[in-house]
Structure 1
């Protein structure tokens, strides 16, 4: 094998090596970008989980308050009916 052939093969091997290194570098950049996107997604997911828990707690509190208000409204209504019946009874006796 002549020096020229050795030089050509060496140049070809070096070019293949450079292309492989460029592909590796590009793959690493893409992988890094995917990892960063995944990390942002994980942070966003955690934020959403916490927000969901906060909203669920708030909803539970609001539902409990609504039930208390509804119970109170029923009690007030019951007492008003009793009071009206008492007034009617008193008025009917007075006639």
Structure 2
């Protein structure tokens, strides 16, 4: 192998090495971008988990309040029926 062929071979190897480094550099940048995106997704997921827990607690409180209101409405209805029956009984005696 003569000097010119050796230099051409080294130049070609250096070019391949530079291209390989360029691809590696791009791969590292792409990986960093995906890692940042994954971290954002994890943060968003945690935020959603906390929001879901807060909303579940709020829903439980609202459901409990709705039940108390329903129970109260039922009790009011029962008392109104009793009052109407009492009024009817009094009116029946008055006749």
Q: State the TM-score, normalized to the length of structure 1.
A: 0.98
Q: Which runs of 4+ in 1 moved over 4 A?
A: none
- Counterpart residue number, 1:80: 80
Q: Which residue of 2 aligns with 1:6?
A: 6
Report the Cα distance in structure 2 between the residues aligned to 1:35 and 1:50, rounded to whole angstroms.
23
Aligned-partner Cα distance in 2 for 1:81–1:36:
66
Please tell me whether residue 31 in structure 1 is matched to residue 31 in structure 2: yes
Query: RMSD across aligned C-alpha pairs, in angstroms?
Result: 0.5
Size of the aligned set, in residue pairs, is: 95
Unaligned runs of 5+ in 1: none
